[in-house]
């Protein structure tokens, strides 16, 4: 696959955050994604992501998944707070760059899955406590994935947080309002919604 970079409107801010890393680490390039119902690959801001994780109480035994992990910045930032971090990325070349970034930063507790999000095995979904979505996909893909998370509650009831950045599909989340409570709503350039599920006693 030939990746096509583009200059994001926030490129100046990305360049500022890029200074926090050595030149052989690339967390901030933006790539076009021509897959149906998938958005382009762009990075979360480091400062924003750190603030988001600070909103919830994280247990060291928990697992984290970045759904559409791009070049892997959230995985790196989350790796020292979770037992294991998983990244799912449909673009193979992008997933390879993410792996390279994490290896260079000596992150050991990660798995990157080069796959459509809805092809990820249920046994992996069943052990995730925090799902991070930076608006990676839309419509049918989004609906199927949220249903997949909902089904995982039946298979392995546990505490779950869904951190949904740039929440353009909020109406589709509302279908599961009885299962995932809208706990926190923020605005940091975009609408950010935290959904929370607590296991039954």
- Residue pLDDT tens, the chain, 201 long: 578 887 777 778 888 989 999 999 999 998 898 888 888 888 889 999 999 999 999 999 999 999 999 999 999 999 999 999 999 999 999 999 999 999 999 999 999 999 999 999 999 999 999 999 999 999 999 999 999 999 999 999 999 999 999 999 999 999 999 999 999 999 887 899 999 999 987
Token duo for residue 89: 């990325």
Contact present, 90 and 154 (Cβ < 8 Å):
no
According to the model, what pLDDT value does residue 1 have? Answer: 53
Q: Residues near 154 by Cβ (< 8 Å), separated by ≥ 6?
A: none
pTM, two decimal places: 0.95
According to the model, what pLDDT value does residue 41 have? Answer: 85
Q: Within the chain, how many helices (H) and strands (E) appear?
A: 7, 7
Burial (Cβ within 10 Å: 0-12, 13-18, ≥19) of residue 174? exposed
How far is it, in rounded angstroms, from Cα 192 to Cα 167? 6
CB atoms within 10 A of CB 172: 17
Contact present, 20 and 149 (Cβ < 8 Å):
no
Contact present, 130 and 163 (Cβ < 8 Å):
yes
């Amino acid at each position: 696959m030939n990746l096509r970079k583009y200059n994001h409107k926030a490129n100046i801010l990305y360049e500022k955050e890029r200074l926090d890393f050595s030149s052989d680490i690339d967390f901030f390039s933006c790539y076009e994604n021509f897959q149906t119902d998938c958005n382009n690959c762009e990075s979360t801001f480091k400062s924003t992501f750190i603030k988001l994780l600070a909103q919830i109480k994280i247990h060291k035994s928990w697992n984290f998944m970045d759904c559409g992990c791009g070049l892997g910045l959230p995985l790196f930032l989350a790796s020292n707070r979770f037992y294991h971090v998983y990244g799912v990325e449909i673009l193979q070349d992008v997933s390879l760059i993410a792996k390279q970034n994490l290896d260079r930063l000596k992150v050991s507790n990660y798995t990157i899955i080069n796959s459509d999000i809805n092809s990820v095995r249920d046994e992996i979904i069943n052990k995730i406590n925090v799902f991070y979505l930076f608006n990676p996909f839309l419509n049918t893909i989004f609906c199927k994935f949220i249903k997949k998370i909902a089904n995982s509650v039946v298979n392995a009831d546990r505490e779950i947080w869904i951190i949904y950045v740039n929440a353009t599909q909020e109406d589709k989340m509302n279908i599961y309002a009885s299962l995932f409570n809208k706990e926190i709503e923020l605005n940091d350039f975009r609408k950010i919604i935290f959904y929370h599920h607590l296991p039954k006693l």
